[in-house]
Chains A and B, each alone.
Chain A
Amino acid sequence: MSVAELKERHIAATATVNSLRERLKQRRQLLLDTDVAAFAKSQGRSAISFNSTDLICCRTLQGHTGKVYSLDWTPERNRIVSASQDGRLIVWNALTSQKTHAIKLQCPWVMTCAFAPNGQSVACGGLDSACSIFNLNSQVDRDGNIPVSRILTGHKGYVYSCQYVPDQETRLITSSGDQTCVLWDVTTGQRISVFGGEFPSGHTADVLSVSINSSNSNMFVSGSCDMTARLWDTRIASRAVGTYHGHQGDVNTVKFFPDGQRFGTGSDDSTCRLYDMRTGHQLQVYSQQHEGDDNDVPIVTSIAFSISGRLLFAGYSSGDCYVWDTLMAEVVLNLGTSQNSHEARISCLGLSSDGSALCTGSWDKNLKIWAFGGHRKVI
């Protein structure tokens, strides 16, 4: 077959793919008979009512000398690891505000960090295209630094995001600018599986975020600059289980909903969305009118759900941190206008494992802990 004939076949196949995708899009649209907010309203639900001082900033963790890019809590409730433009990881006791470890990184351009499930190790990655593991119990070297215990190499692009598999100390998932996600065995440093890359159903641009399903740790979702989120089964690397369209910009952040059957996303298009994992339906768009011109529209940098799922916390480049009522799709509080709020972009946020506190990290170099300090009614 000549090149010309092959080219014609390529054009025809591309046209078929595009037409099938369009048909799928239309069929899906027909199945969207309601969204979460309309349904909840029809059931007589009403929005959560907060007083403006209900969620209080009860700690400010100061110590980084550069923008905070990433944070992660330990499962045992009170410790946080953060990564900053200053080239350091800091481990904090969030309750006492004390720093228990400060790790100076060989590659200062770090973008992500994560705590191991047992709280004994931390991982980080960034522009070195690698993921470094530090054991917090290691003897420090003569410069007072914790030596790196393992470097996971293999990505051909920046490491934007990493997360340990919840019930497995030795497994970690990373997402990268090389358009893939990788499942690693931390003890051997080997790649167990590569998700995407040469296979057709992988992301077609940088992968910025991952979230592992805590109800079923074989499943994880990834968000990408290709404007989609994709669902993966770690046992089947050859193809994404599902691709979720809708966003009009980079998907910066993804997080599973507590029931493990849905997940949320946040994007450069300034919206958050809730998707149903199994059907792929886009169940809700969380979108707020922003003042100012179109050039000023803030991007969503990070999201987290409260432990029941009723609240969706979303950090924005404007420094706002909207608390969305997940069911009613209304902003019920803005931590960005609270007393003691951050003074710059919120770059990361996360809930403590018991759901009693939210930690936000910002380009203002600080982390803040927020908890409910109002009058709680227990029913």
Chain B
Amino acid sequence: MATNGEDAEPEARPQPSHPRPLRRTGDFLGKHRLSAAISRLNQEIQYLQAELDEIETMKPSSEACKAVVLSTEGKSDALLPVTPGPENPAWHRWFQRVPSSHSRKWWTHKGSDVS
């Protein structure tokens, strides 16, 4: 809420030489922050320009897509219904009888080797 400056000031102040009230600290901090922000932006501009240069010789996405497809092949994966071997017997532990003094639970094994 704006207040009348004269009411707030008990003593008369000398007329300031600037058209607006001097706030030295505020101005200094404002300039400092702005300068720092501008430095950061200039640095960012350099990085972005370097990135644009890099993009000129960058391979298209199809190359990486091919690599993704190839990387999933030939790897044995316990959670896939069809998977390259070897099948690790430890995968079946989740369905084997678990000796436990606290529980009589066991889980039926629904696997490929049940005849």
CB distance from A330 to the nearest CB of B (A): 14
A371 interface contact, C-beta 8 A: yes
New A-B pairs, 14, CB < 8 Å, besides A13-B38, A59-B94, A283-B65 = A10-B41, A20-B52, A33-B60, A33-B62, A35-B65, A96-B103, A257-B68, A262-B68, A276-B64, A284-B65, A309-B68, A356-B79, A374-B81, A376-B111
Asked if A24 meets B65 with Cβ closer than 8 Å, knowing A10-B34, A31-B60, A371-B94, the reply is no
Which residues of the other chain, B, contact A45 by a CB distance below 8 angstroms? 69
Which residues of the other chain, B, contact A377 by a CB distance below 8 angstroms? 81-83, 112
Q: Is the CB of B78 within 8 A of A371?
A: yes
Which residues of the other chain, B, contact A14 by a CB distance below 8 angstroms? 41
Interface residues of A (CB under 8 A from B): 1, 3, 6-7, 9-10, 13-14, 16-17, 20-21, 23-24, 27-28, 31-36, 38-40, 43, 45, 48-51, 54-56, 58-59, 77, 95-98, 200-201, 239, 257-259, 261-262, 274, 276, 278-279, 281-284, 306-311, 326-327, 354-358, 369, 371-379
B59 interface contact, C-beta 8 A: yes
CA distance A307 to B40 in the complex (A): 41
Q: Is the CB of B78 within 8 A of A3?
A: no
CA distance A327 to B75 in the complex (A): 14
Q: Is the CB of B31 within 8 A of A376?
A: no
| Chain A to chain B contacts (Cβ below 8 Å), 9 pairs | A31-B59, A48-B80, A58-B107, A96-B100, A259-B68, A311-B77, A356-B88, A356-B90, A378-B112
Asked if A17 meets B55 with Cβ closer than 8 Å, knowing A33-B60, A48-B81, A357-B94, the reply is no
Asked if A6 meets B87 with Cβ closer than 8 Å, knowing A32-B61, A375-B81, the reply is no
Q: Is the CB of B103 within 8 A of A97?
A: yes
Q: Is the CB of B68 within 8 A of A326?
A: yes
Q: Is the interface of B mostly helix, strand, loop or mixed?
A: helix
Q: Is the CB of A98 within 8 A of B100?
A: yes
Q: Is the CB of B69 within 8 A of A39?
A: yes
Asked if A200 meets B95 with Cβ closer than 8 Å, knowing A307-B77, A377-B82, the reply is no
Q: Is the CB of B61 within 8 A of A283?
A: yes
Q: Is the CB of A39 within 8 A of B66?
A: yes
CB distance from B52 to the nearest CB of A (A): 6
Asked if A39 meets B65 with Cβ closer than 8 Å, knowing A200-B40, A279-B59, A327-B72, the reply is yes
Which residues of the other chain, A, contact B52 by a CB distance below 8 angstroms? 20, 23-24, 27
Q: Is the CB of B80 within 8 A of A279?
A: no
Q: Is the CB of B69 within 8 A of A6?
A: no
CA distance A369 to B42 in the complex (A): 51
CA distance A337 to B72 in the complex (A): 27
Q: Is the CB of B83 within 8 A of A379?
A: yes
Q: Is the CB of B107 within 8 A of A375?
A: no
Q: Is the CB of B91 within 8 A of A259?
A: no
CB distance from A345 to the nearest CB of B (A): 23
CA distance A232 to B16 in the complex (A): 52
Q: Is the CB of A95 within 8 A of B67?
A: no
CB distance from A307 to the nearest CB of B (A): 5
CA distance A307 to B16 in the complex (A): 73
CA distance A9 to B76 in the complex (A): 58
Asked if A379 meets B85 with Cβ closer than 8 Å, knowing A3-B34, A13-B45, A55-B79, the reply is yes
